[in-house]
Amino acid sequence: MGIMKNMLMLSPIDDYRVRQRDFLLQISRAITAKLDLNEVLRLALHASLIMLKGQVGLVALRAQDDVFYVKMVSGVERDKVPSLNDHLHRLNEIVRDGGGDDAVNDQLNLLAQAIDPGLIQTFALPLMFAEEPLGMMIVCRDHATDTTVNDRQVLQSFADQAAIAVHNAQLYERINQERQRLAAILQHSADGVMILNPDLVIVRFNRALERITGWEAVDAIGQYQADVLQLHNLADGDLADAIADGWPFTLAASNYAEAPLYVEGDLLRADGMAVSIGITYAPMFNPDGTLNNIIANVRDISHFRQAQDLQNTFISVVSHELKTPVAIIKGYAATLNRPDAQWDGAVVRETLDVIEDEADRLNDLIQNLLTASKLQTQREMVLEMGEVDLPRLIAQSVERSRKQTAAHRIITDISPDFPVIEGDSTRLRQVIDNLISNAIKYSPEGGQIEVSGDYDVESVTVCVRDHGVGLAHEDQKRVFDRFFRVDGKLTRTTQGTGLGLYLVKAIIEAHGGAVAVESKIGQGSTFYFTIPR
């Protein structure tokens, strides 16, 4: 009896409430420990069905349009979900318009009837977080009982815990989606992207950087940056030097703002090849101001450097090309203008011929420059079409070229009855002039140059053949590129800007035709173009 006096006896109702609260505590711990939204909803819905002895249930979550949509169901056929969404939309409108409890209950009963006419009681548990509605759990059952104040408190406590779990899972889901989105952007960026830790060890390495460096990401991650990006010919120091000088803290000032660092140099790839790259380093700081990571954006600037070198070479060549005819014109004009000399007519005519030839050469150079510049701006050649007599253009160009060289014999072979074609006569004359001029330049020992023309039912073809130095096979692929000049002793002593053949190709392609070359070193070259009739 003494033992019995010290025992706490629980009534059946109290025992039920203890077990109910224990169950609530267990399920609350279970759902708040989950970060997968679907798993959280499944556990919460399962628990609500047990507590309310329900047969069917659903969880609806609020979407961006502030309307509730079914997200999880239990005991409900999936094909009924669209109609349940319609009921939820009407329920949302009733609440939004200030409808009373009776209107809300009526709509909930209609929703239950849409699931199963045998369901006679429905419970709606709102999921609220920070006074913001996240959604609701709806449980339906085939019998009706009264709920006590304690029951409602327990259910509301459970709903509050479920709302916290849903909020956390949604937040994790959004963070995970953002992480995946940023990872995809990083991985598929056109530029190389690398993330370093404060010790300059690589922790991320994207695909573009694999292509630039020749390193596989799996091999690069965990390596020191200097071991993977072996840079030479640096423009202004490197990352290690900048950090030794206090970067990024000396530049970031007291608020630790971003202070990007730019480094440019030649990278030795894993396969031994070299590539020019530019790297922008951006620091990321922790809230306490310590360095967290360094983000490196790596860009292949080989083509940019090549373009710069090409531009510098072009400016030098053009300056020389312009200076030479100007100097000759000025010299001959000054000679004719000497007050102490008396020139006979033959000398004057010969001198004026030289001046005229050099002026023509200067005009051709300027015209080529203007045409190339316009072509780069407009991206296409603008033609003034009309009837073109190609044999007459060839004869005019040959006559002019014969006056400019005494070492070459220029002959023509044009098919009889050569047809008149549609084209731009000025541009086509420019093509023929450039091809013959090119043949003269690259056969310095003189010899014969043949200009021929032929046609068929669809097209006309013009060929210019010389017996000069010829072209190597690898140079034939690039000879029509802008500013390209074959690297050789003859080229360095031969005038030219590298624009002539580039313009030839552009003009012929604008006519819907094609241009090509056949050549062998030491045996000369044949340039020919074909355009439609």
Find the range with the poorest average confidence among 99-113, 128-142, 368-382, 511-525. 368-382
Residues 6+ apart with CB under 8 A from 32: 161, 164, 165, 168
Asked whether residue 119 falls in the same domain as residue 257, the answer is no
Model confidence band, residue 377 (pLDDT cutoffs 50, 70, 90): low
* CATH (domain of 372): 1.10.287.130
For residue 200, the enclosing domain spans 189-300
Q: What is the pLDDT of residues 289-348, one digit of tens each?
A: 888 999 999 998 888 777 777 666 667 667 766 777 788 888 888 888 888 778 888 888
In a domain, 444, yes or no: yes
Asked whether residue 504 falls in the same domain as residue 417, the answer is yes
In a domain, 404, yes or no: yes
Q: At what angle do helices 345-378 and 390-404 cross, to 10 degrees?
A: 130
For residue 314, the tally of other CB atoms under 10 A from its CB is 19
| Whether the model pTM is above 0.75 | no
List strand residue ranges (DSSP E) for 301-456, in order: 386-388, 408-414, 421-423, 447-455
Q: Report d(CA 259, CA 247) in Å as an integer.
A: 8
The residue among 363, 379, 395 that closes a domain is: 379
Asked whether residue 159 falls in the same domain as residue 127, the answer is yes
The answer on pLDDT for 91 being more than 70 is yes
* CATH (domain of 47): 3.30.450.40
In a domain, 502, yes or no: yes
- What does the pLDDT average to over 147-171? 82
In a domain, 45, yes or no: yes
The answer on pLDDT for 258 being more than 60 is no
Q: What is the pLDDT of residues 38-62, one digit of tens each?
A: 888 888 888 888 888 899 999 999 9
Asked whether residue 219 falls in the same domain as residue 133, the answer is no
Residue appearing with tokens 């799996």: 218
CA dihedral 221, 225, 229, 231 (to 10 degrees): 180
Model confidence band, residue 84 (pLDDT cutoffs 50, 70, 90): very high
In a domain, 475, yes or no: yes
The residue among 133, 158, 179 that closes a domain is: 179
What integer pLDDT is reported at residue 314 of this predicted model? 66
What domain count does the chain have?
Answer: 4
The residue among 348, 379, 410 that closes a domain is: 379
Asked whether residue 419 falls in the same domain as residue 497, the answer is yes
Model confidence band, residue 13 (pLDDT cutoffs 50, 70, 90): very low
Asked whether residue 395 falls in the same domain as residue 511, the answer is yes
In a domain, 3, yes or no: no
- What does the pLDDT average to over 421-430? 91
In a domain, 434, yes or no: yes
In a domain, 184, yes or no: no
Residue appearing with tokens 């009921």: 87
Asked whether residue 195 falls in the same domain as residue 54, the answer is no
Q: Report d(CA 50, CA 41) in Å as an integer.
A: 14
Asked whether residue 389 falls in the same domain as residue 372, the answer is no
Q: How far apart are the first and last CA of the chain?
A: 124
Model confidence band, residue 3 (pLDDT cutoffs 50, 70, 90): very low
Q: Report d(CA 252, CA 38) in Å as an integer.
A: 44
Taking alpha carbons only, the member of 425, 422, 412, 423 closest to residue 454 is: 412
Higher-confidence residue of 201 and 351: namely: 201
Pairing state between β 447-455 and 408-414: parallel
- What does the pLDDT average to over 494-510? 80
Asked whether residue 341 falls in the same domain as residue 361, the answer is yes
- What does the pLDDT average to over 472-494? 70
Q: What is the pLDDT of residues 93-115, one digit of tens each?
A: 888 888 788 888 889 889 999 99
Q: Report d(CA 473, CA 470) in Å as an integer.
A: 10
Asked whether residue 32 falls in the same domain as residue 113, the answer is yes
64-68, 223-227, 237-241, 475-479: range with highest mean pLDDT: 223-227
DSSP character at residue 201: B
Asked whether residue 90 falls in the same domain as residue 19, the answer is yes
Asked whether residue 335 falls in the same domain as residue 399, the answer is no
The H-or-E segment that residue 372 falls in is helix 345-378
Backbone dihedral angles phi then psi of residue 58, each to the nearest 5 degrees:
-150, 155
* CATH (domain of 268): 3.30.450.20
